Structure 1
């Protein structure tokens, strides 16, 4: 379900940013909560660079606008603020919001002090952690974390932070609630975080100005959600650009304007996106999503001949057994050659490392068992490997909303005026693996470079820097060579076969997660994974010997959430989608050759 083109791939990966994020509760209203007994104060810092003369307030009615009665302060030259007369309960329930005003707020970045060019809004999620100095830090990146929770309220703060870090390509030890301006220079990650933050702040400001001009009466909360959702969609591209741009050539405004642009040219599309952002999301359960009819997903895909076809699937609850409930998953395709929904069989297998070694695991939902937990979550366990993940669900009431905005850009076309009927619901699912998961593609591997290698310990010498042999292809026109011996060393990367040496180096190590089973773990720079590789850039790259042959695969790490890239729907919603399905064809009518799922470029 995570490697969304299709839901089955979540089960396949047993644990990524949807194309259109569905926003959480918005709107105005009177101040709730209020300042009551047990009042205290909270101090912190606002950083893009340090923002001076920015307005900070505790957003008691969750509308991202300063309302009478909300505790407020103005930042000093060093970005610091103190909110007085706040309660612990209100801090736990509501976000702290920052308004940077055009020409009023001053951004102190390095040796320069510049009034901000466009008004923008920052925030930090409710119950945000304090840094070691006891400060609540508010930055463009805490704004992204807050957005993750708003659009998917089942996420805890730490989980939302992990999602953003994964898309940024920074280490798990790098805190996004730290003062990165202060820490800049202490590590490459904080240098990167600082630059990405500048890009994000600029992008929010640019797009706020553009949307205000195109839709002057739009709800501010909805505007911010639409913009931040687009920032999240482009975060991997932003991080990639920052990684590959030298410090002397770095320009936040240039990167922002070339990566994050909410479409304001079509007023209908813009209004649809704003309406979608206003749809309330609430904590739900996997059991609710399954219901009695199951839940559905739909995608537009390309076969191995690059012809378009459409696919949908349905996951249903099966019988209760000794280890939990069974699940069933059925797939249907619709092609130009056969323009009707036809049942297909999928056998997308992979090898996963279990306590007993490499086991072939089917990727279908029927390959494991499900247990419903008392807190509304569910635990899914693959039978072959024993690996499990916890599934959480946010529910969006889509009744009365237009269908189009809730289907990702790459999915099937629908009648433009079609709306969901009463009772229609959409579900956003999150998957958190309980242990590290090592998997190897089970299909035929076309990488001939690996054919002569029997064990991963041979890889450093076979593909050695300075050697006469070729490099190891690991992606699209992308190869690697190694230095070092034994169990660790460095990696150099090239475009093609050493035609162009790339600037950023990586590292490799040989580990043994299970006694007797070595795994070669390759640390590929995030920018190169995003640009050249088949797999999702948030996953680690591995090699292992399975059945006497060394093959490539991936590792997903415990407790790092992955979210379904698209939405799933209840039967009422899906019936409306199907009734308004209007397929188009942009390629010759040929019989589709469905791709092997493991070799498809993956996008979370």
Structure 2
């Protein structure tokens, strides 16, 4: 497993989360609570928000919270918004603590979960590298259902079809998913210099490059899933940095709508190494 010692250029300021609620907020009248946890290992001090415009960054008016000492969060939202918008978590360099290590993460990265997977059921919304990958798979429009996407991801990980890829693998003690998630997070943190920046106290994300990164991670999942993948991870990191750096940048925070051309070779195809969401 690759240790999280990779740095990212983006430095996220503490002002981003000023005024955000914690994990145990009581919803006001006419609102509902959407709660869960954030992990590769449980992540303390991550910023979680309902991403109403799909740009992966916290904007004015979007419900937000900060994960507590157990990695838990609660968003207070309009009941009509549950299942309508994705939830995004910003893991912040030098500030968010990974309970796997007990130390702040050394590279910032973005996690999310699909809008259709969000629920008002208490603590059901587990945000992880797995949920993030499923969101990007569903964004391609090539999967008819979340179940189909989960089966494809489970197959990539060498797991049994029908495995719930949105489960809290920490609570379930699913070491295969946990190890893969740790390695995915290391890659994501290492590549955020390519896709992540700041404008004052606002985190910006180049969604074109972000989705390209996720497509490449998916394509190389067989190299990422194992506990002894240091050499493969190092090689993949170098390739990803080169390829992502050569991709044209879109306007910061602007969702890239044409998923078929969001990555070299396409998000739905391509060879291992430059990969896609369907291979």
Q: What per-residue deviation string (whole Å, max 9, x for no partner) do you get for residues 365-392 of structure 1?
A: xxxxxxxxxxxxxxxxxxxxxxxxxxxx
The yes-or-no answer on 1:83 pairing with 2:75 is yes
Q: State which of 158, 171, 193 in structure 2 corresponds to 1:182.
A: 171
The yes-or-no answer on 1:161 pairing with 2:139 is no
* Aligned-residue offset at 1:91: 2.4
| Partner of residue 178, structure 2 | 194
Q: State which of 108, 111, 125 in structure 2 corresponds to 1:119.
A: 108
* Aligned-residue offset at 1:86: 3.2
1:204–1:73 distance in 2 versus 1, CA, 3 Å: same
Tell me if the contact between 1:207 and 1:262 (Cα under 8 Å) persists in the aligned partners.
no
* Aligned-residue offset at 1:255: 5.3
Q: What per-residue deviation string (whole Å, max 9, x for no partner) do you get for residues 406-461 of structure 1?
A: 59656xxxxxxxxxxxxxxxxxxxxxxxxxxxxxxxxxxxxxxxxxxxxxxxxxxx
1:181-260 aligned at under 5 Å gives the runs 181-184=170-173, 190-211=174-195, 220-239=206-225, 241-242=226-227, 245=228, 256-260=233-237
* Aligned-residue offset at 1:63: 0.4
Q: State which of 108, 113, 128 in structure 1 corresponds to 2:99.
A: 108
Tell me if the contact between 1:211 and 1:264 (Cα under 8 Å) persists in the aligned partners.
no
Tell me if the contact between 1:98 and 1:123 (Cα under 8 Å) persists in the aligned partners.
yes
Count of residue correspondences? 239
2-structure distance, mates of 1:194, 1:46 = 12
2-structure distance, mates of 1:198, 1:47 = 9
2-structure distance, mates of 1:171, 1:268 = 35
1:140–1:181 distance in 2 versus 1, CA, 3 Å: same
1:307-346 aligned at under 5 Å gives the runs none
1:181–1:268 distance in 2 versus 1, CA, 3 Å: closer
2-structure distance, mates of 1:259, 1:66 = 30
| Partner of residue 40, structure 2 | 48
Tell me if the contact between 1:131 and 1:177 (Cα under 8 Å) persists in the aligned partners.
no
Q: State which of 172, 177, 180 in structure 1 corresponds to 2:161.
A: 172
| Partner of residue 127, structure 2 | 138
2-structure distance, mates of 1:38, 1:153 = 36
Tell me if the contact between 1:58 and 1:95 (Cα under 8 Å) persists in the aligned partners.
yes
Q: State which of 46, 61, 76 in structure 1 corresponds to 2:53.
A: 61
The yes-or-no answer on 1:148 pairing with 2:137 is yes
* Aligned-residue offset at 1:224: 1.6
1:564–1:237 distance in 2 versus 1, CA, 3 Å: closer
| Partner of residue 248, structure 2 | 271
1-structure distance, mates of 2:277, 2:133 = 17
- Secondary structure of the 2:60 match is coil
1-structure distance, mates of 2:115, 2:158 = 25
Q: What per-residue deviation string (whole Å, max 9, x for no partner) do you get for residues 262-317 of structure 1?
A: 5444788422899xx93425xxxxxxxxxxxxxxxxxxxxxxxxxxxxxxxxxxxx
| Partner of residue 10, structure 2 | none
Q: What per-residue deviation string (whole Å, max 9, x for no partner) do you get for residues 550-579 of structure 1?
A: xxxxxxxxxxxxx995xxxxxxxxxxxxxx
1:272–1:211 distance in 2 versus 1, CA, 3 Å: closer
| Partner of residue 294, structure 1 | none
* Aligned-residue offset at 1:38: 4.8
Tell me if the contact between 1:47 and 1:79 (Cα under 8 Å) persists in the aligned partners.
yes
| Partner of residue 5, structure 2 | none
CA RMSD of aligned residues (A): 3.5
1:135–1:220 distance in 2 versus 1, CA, 3 Å: same
1:266–1:230 distance in 2 versus 1, CA, 3 Å: closer
Tell me if the contact between 1:75 and 1:81 (Cα under 8 Å) persists in the aligned partners.
yes
Runs of 5+ unmatched residues, structure 2: 1-28, 198-203
Tell me if the contact between 1:202 and 1:256 (Cα under 8 Å) persists in the aligned partners.
no
- Secondary structure of the 1:76 match is coil
- Secondary structure of the 2:148 match is helix
Tell me if the contact between 1:41 and 1:84 (Cα under 8 Å) persists in the aligned partners.
yes
In our comparison, the structure showing a higher alpha carbon Rg is 1
1:114–1:405 distance in 2 versus 1, CA, 3 Å: same
| Partner of residue 97, structure 1 | 88
- Secondary structure of the 2:116 match is coil
Runs of 5+ unmatched residues, structure 1: 1-36, 185-189, 282-395, 411-562, 566-603
Q: What per-residue deviation string (whole Å, max 9, x for no partner) do you get for residues 52-73 of structure 1?
A: 0000000000000000000000
Considering Cα pairs closer than 8 Å and 6+ residues apart, tell me whether 1 or 2 has the greater RCO: 2
Give the TM-score taking structure 1 as reference length: 0.36
1:150–1:409 distance in 2 versus 1, CA, 3 Å: closer
1:98–1:84 distance in 2 versus 1, CA, 3 Å: same
